[in-house]
Structure 1
Amino acid sequence: MGERVGEVMGLARARREARRLAVPLILANLAVPLLGMVDTAVVGHLPDPADLTAAALATQLVSVLWFLFGFLRMGTTALAAQAVGAGDQQALTATGIRALVTALTIGGVLMLLSWPLQFLGHLLFLPSPEVAAGFDQFLAIRLLGAPAALGQFALTGWLLGRQDARGPLLVAVLGNVLNAVLDVWFVLGLGFGLSSVAVATTLSEYAGLLVALALVLRKVRPDRAAIAAALADRPALTRLFRVNRDLFLRSCFLEGSFVAFTVLAARQGETFVAANAILMTFFTATAWLLDGFAQAGETMIGRATGAHSAESLHMAMRAAFEHGLILAVLLTGILALAGPSAIELMTHHADVQATAHHYLPFVIALPLVSVWAFVLDGVFFGTGRAEVLRNAMALALGLFLVSAALLVPVLGGTGLWLTLLLFLASRGILLWWSFRRIGGSRALAVPHGSG
């Protein structure tokens, strides 16, 4: 009886903790796409239509780059949370130092790769001469913010690993507010051109970095000896490199699947592409929301792993799954009820509306199909099993390509959306199989590589 009461109380605590962490993270995640939306809205008021195209293409390429290096947040959160669970303040501080130095180094390299990335953008997007000049300028200025953007990943990941979800929310909100104010001031107030929008975004990224750094320094102030020791610890640096490498490859495989989806969609005709653009905004919004509970689960599971507590890990998993499923059901209902009206609001073209309505049921099903992969991602992020995430994503990408080759030629757009649903479902299935094969909560409660 006592064990049962203890289990109920432990689960209740895990549920409260999941909500405490997830709500600020969901709000912070919603702030992320606003950065590009504000830029697009302000650029839309410039006199030359080519400016909007240039900004949109450059922002798309930057978004892909930032996504690929998102492992700087995920890997840092896992290692920091494990240090918290183990009660190792020295390891917690060292994790933040190594993550920030890694982020700033990668960001510095990206700044130096401005010309090759501009060349890559020309190959991918084939911009007209009028668009190309604005694209190059916008991209070069945005890349100047790479150290700040990636540094934010590392610092907010560290804060989240300390179970601080409000810090990342504060960084996101202040950065977005400043970006919006500068955009409006530069373009509508001072009459500056396209480059000023990129300058505003870059400045807001550095402001966000300073806010994140201030929040971290309130928690810990490492001296020179601590910094030197953190950067001289070869086993820890090797572990960080291994985790980041696997998470980077996982991001590449995931991005590859969506690039393939976009390429195949383009072959279905302009009307299908336009309808897909609307439908994918629905999917992106639900993904950001579901990711909030995945991130909450990640930090709770990382702490349980550091404490070697299989019971706490199980409770964290259960709380994350329960809340994720509730949110997925809620999102499914919202999409089913409001999706048709939202389509009407987003376009007045009858053929695009009809196509979007036709494929809307697939989008409605996406939250319930994908929530399992989101939560299990958080499980393996938190336990530091990056190689599992890498391998599962590689297999899921292979399944995506095979199913696309079989279904799209026969079913066209329907086959493509079925392929996406199968891809998301396969991610969850593969990760659950990996969880069972490893040995479940008890086996995962030991930090990977600690023996």
Structure 2
Amino acid sequence: MPRRKVFDLAWPLILSNITVPLLGLVDTAVVGHLPDSRYLGGVTLGATLFSFLYWGFGFLRMGTTGLTAQAHGRGEVDAMLRLLGQGLMLALVIGLALVALHPPVIALGLSLLDGSAAVTAQAELYARWRIFSAPAVLANYVLIGWFLGRGNSRVTLLLMVINNSINIVLDLLFVVGLGMTVDGVALASVMADYCTLAVGIALAMGVWRRWSWRPVAGVFRDLGGYRRLLSVNLALFIRTLCLLFAFAFFHAQGADMGDTTLAANAVLLQFVLLASYALDGFAHATESLVGQRIGANDEAGFRAVVWAASQWSLLAAGLASVSFWLAGDALVAVLTDLPAVRTMAGVYLPWVIAMPLLAAASYLLDGIFIGATRTRAMRDTMVLAVLGFYLPVWWLTQPLGNHGLWLAFVAFTLARSLLLGGLFHRAWSQRRWFAPAGHPAG
């Protein structure tokens, strides 16, 4: 049953998403008990910088998933091994480049985040350690994408649990046990990332051994494979930059309206993040199953997967919206005890209640297009959503203040859904989802 397959793939991904905030809570609790608030501010600022920096290279996970899923659907073991090797090579090159170029990258990033001098100094110390995790973080993206493309999402959960568990233990050891500060938190993350990479490589070697140590051909010589991988990933990179800009712009405009508005928006965006845990889980499951059906040239199976994933996504979005409607005020109270922030968050809560239902299609369509490796369409519609909808709506609704900002963000979300949805429907009705192999990213 397609519905069961989608759920079986999605639930480990949803759980792995939920583990992410746990580490942030431990980091905050450990550093928050140090004698000076600049340490907590430094970790917060530094972690924000690396969240944006590494998120920008998330295409390594997405591109690997789509291409591997299609190779898996075709039963091409050689292609799957070659994709893993080429993806890891690309991650290593990018990671080492980030390490080599880290002084200007860190300086620029911290200047944009605009913290106080004391906090920025601590964030810089954090960043000088954390940057050395870049090769491991990016390689882990490739490994997670590769296993997901093969339909094994439980590896993702395992790797996330290992990473966060090691990170938490080392946080406590370095900061509480050895008396380190932000450098201890950063070093814990670096070591956890490399330990996770070692486990991921070991798991991949186990798969290779089950394939009787099949020779890996063309990892270095197959330039066409690199071109295809870069074509898919470059489009995803531009798309991700646009998405990062959308969130950064939202935060910047909220900050211009005052600290209370900025804080209220930050609280409400946590609701969006909560909803995304489930929606992302089903979208990522869709990437794998859609890619496999396209690789197998199974149009009936493709349609069944899309229909099943649509049902799960709509159910998850509906449950999220109802939960926010019934318990939104209580959740705001859990996230902040500042009366002014609570009051303002309550004013704009209706936007967040509607958001899961309005955003569900964009998450699902992303999964379909990634699985089909039609990443240029994702890039083009994202650029159009930002330039043609988000920024114009914000400009026209500035007199509405923060309501106008939320309206622009909702318009951006709807535009993503409608633009990608239009392309999907056209290809669906004309039965053109199974494009010739030479046009994977169209």
Q: TM-score, normalised by structure 1?
A: 0.94
**Does the 8 Å CA contact 2:64/2:149 hold for their aligned counterparts?**
yes
For residues 231 and 246 of structure 1, the distance between their equivalents in structure 2, rounded to whole angstroms, comes to 23
Distance 2:408 2:144 in 1: 34
Render the CA deviation track for 1:160-195: whole Å, top value 9, x for unaligned: 011001011000011101111111122122222220
**What is the deviation of 1:416?**
0.8
Partner of 2:106: 118
Distance 2:270 2:197 in 1: 28
User: 1:27-38 to 2 correspondence within 5 Å?
Assistant: 27-38=15-26
Q: 1:402 aligns with which of 386, 392, 399?
A: 392
Letter in 2 for 1:305: I
How far off is 1:448 after superposition?
A: 5.1
CA 1:447–1:350 in structure 2 vs 1: closer, same or farther (change >3 Å)?
farther
Equivalent residue letter for 1:215: L
Root-mean-square deviation (CA, aligned residues, Å) is: 1.7
Alpha-carbon shift at residue 450 of structure 1 (Å) = 5.3
Q: Which residue of structure 1 lines up, in the alignment, with residue 277 of structure 2?
A: 288
Alignment pair present for 1:82 and 2:70 = yes
Q: Which sits farther off after the overlay, 337-346 or 77-86?
A: 337-346
Q: Which of 423, 442, 450 is residue 431 of structure 2 equivalent to?
A: 442
The answer as to 2:287 corresponding to 1:313 is no
1:24 is displaced (CA, Å) by: 0.4
| Equivalent AA in structure 1 for residue 250 of structure 2 | F
CA deviations over 1:108-161 (Å, ceiling 9, x no partner) = 111112201221034212333322321111011111001111110000100001
Measure how far apart 1:342 and its partner are: 1.3
- Aligned equivalents of 1:430 and 1:37: distance in 2? 37
Q: Name the counterpart of 1:182.
A: 170
1:331 lines up with 2:299 in the alignment: no
Residue 268 of structure 1 and its aligned partner are, at CA, apart by 1.5
Q: Quick check: 68-77 or 333-342, which moved more?
A: 333-342
1:333 deviation in Å? 1.2
Matched, 1:352 2:328: no
Distance, in Å, in 1 between the alignment partners of 2:11 and 2:23 is 20
The answer to whether the 8 Å contact 1:279/1:360 transfers is: yes
1:429-451 deviation digits (Å, cap 9, x = unpaired): 00011112335583113465258
1:270: which partner in 2? 259
The amino acid of 1:150's aligned partner reads: L
- Mapped contact 1:75–1:243 kept (Cα < 8 A): yes
Amino acid of the structure 2 residue aligned with 1:404: W
| Aligned counterpart, 2:329 | 340
Q: Specify the alignment match of 2:159 in structure 1.
A: 171
Q: Please tell me whether the aligned partners of residues 60 and 91 of structure 2 are also in contact (alpha carbons under 8 angstroms).
A: yes
Letter in 1 for 2:189: T
2:108 counterpart of 1:109: no
In 2, distance between residues paired with 1:255 and 1:126?
17
* Paired AA for residue 263 in structure 1: A
When structure 1 is superposed on structure 2, of 231-240 and 384-393 the one drifting more is 231-240
Partner Cα separation in structure 2 for residue 447 and residue 425 of structure 1: 30
> Match of 1:47, SS?
coil
Matches within 5 A, 1:83-232: 83-221=71-209, 226-227=215-216, 229-232=218-221
Listed one character per residue, the Cα deviations across residues 320-369 of structure 1 (whole Å, up to 9, x for unaligned) are: 11000001111111111121111122222221111001111111111100
| 5+ residue gaps, structure 1 | 1-12
Structure 2 length-normalised TM: 0.96
| Count of paired positions | 438
What code does the residue aligned with 1:87 have? G
Superposition map of 1:223-242 within 5 A? 226-227=215-216, 229-242=218-231
- Conservation of the 8 A alpha-carbon contact between 1:168 and 1:212: no
From the superposition, tell whether residues 441 and 170 of structure 1 become closer, same or farther in structure 2 (CA, over 3 Å).
farther
Q: Deviations over 1:195-234 (max 9, x none)?
A: 0110001111111111111111111159999456122112
- 8 Å contact 1:94–1:226 — kept in the other structure? no
Contact 1:310 1:441 in 2 (8 A): no
Contact map agreement 2:45 2:120 (CA 8 A) in 1: no
Judge conservation of contact 2:82–2:217 (CA < 8 Å) in 1. no
**1:110–1:35 distance in 2 versus 1, CA, 3 Å:** farther
Cα offsets for 1:39-59 (capped at 9, x unmatched): 222111111211111111111
| Aligned counterparts of 1:318 and 1:392: Cα–Cα separation in 2 | 22
- 1:258 paired with 2:247, answer yes
User: What runs of 5+ residues in structure 2 fail to find an aligned partner?
Assistant: none
| Cα separation, 2, equivalents of 1:262 and 1:100 | 34
Q: Is the 8 A contact 1:186 1:192 kept in 2?
A: yes
Task: State the identity as a percent.
Answer: 39
The one-letter amino acid of 2:255's match is A
